[in-house]
Amino acid sequence: METQTPSYIIYFQENINAVVMEWKGYSTSREFRSGTELMLNLLLKHNTFKVLANIKEMVLIGLEDQEWLDTEFLPRATEFGFHVLAIVTPDHYFNKVAVESISQKADKNKLAIKTFENLTDAAHWLSLIDNPDKNTPL
């Protein structure tokens, strides 16, 4: 199942056993949150714990959405089994800063986050991870 809007495409990629989110341009807070919730639903549906977030072309995660990720979404998502996140680094400076801020605040005991310059390297890293508790190659 794939969901596509002008802002994002979200789908499950079987060969890496991960949910993939590809974000482009600017998204409203509503689009950002609904896409992020869709990612969690697919993660649960496919019984996986890994996400690849390609945000290279995403313009910005707003301050309110950063706060929502930090205080509401990530604590809930990690309780549901979200444990590994590969991020393709954004081109836009302010989004790089936002992603660094979110990553620093995330509970490293519950969520492993690694950034990459390209989709191929991010997908390869995720393909090496079978169990978040036993072999997360950080």
Average pLDDT along the chain: 91
Domain ranges of the chain: 2-127
Q: Tell whether domain 2-127 is in CATH 3.30.750.24.
A: yes
Name the pLDDT band for 90 (thresholds 50, 70, 90): very high
The contacts of residue 8 (CB under 8 Å, 6+ apart) are: 21, 22, 23, 24, 27, 31, 35
Name the pLDDT band for 130 (thresholds 50, 70, 90): confident
Triad 7, 10, 22: Cα angle to 5°: 55
- Number of helical (H) and strand (E) elements in the chain, helices listed first: 5, 6
The contacts of residue 79 (CB under 8 Å, 6+ apart) are: none
* Residues 67, 30 contacting (CB under 8 angstroms): no
Single-letter amino acid, residue 135: N
pTM score of the predicted model: 0.91
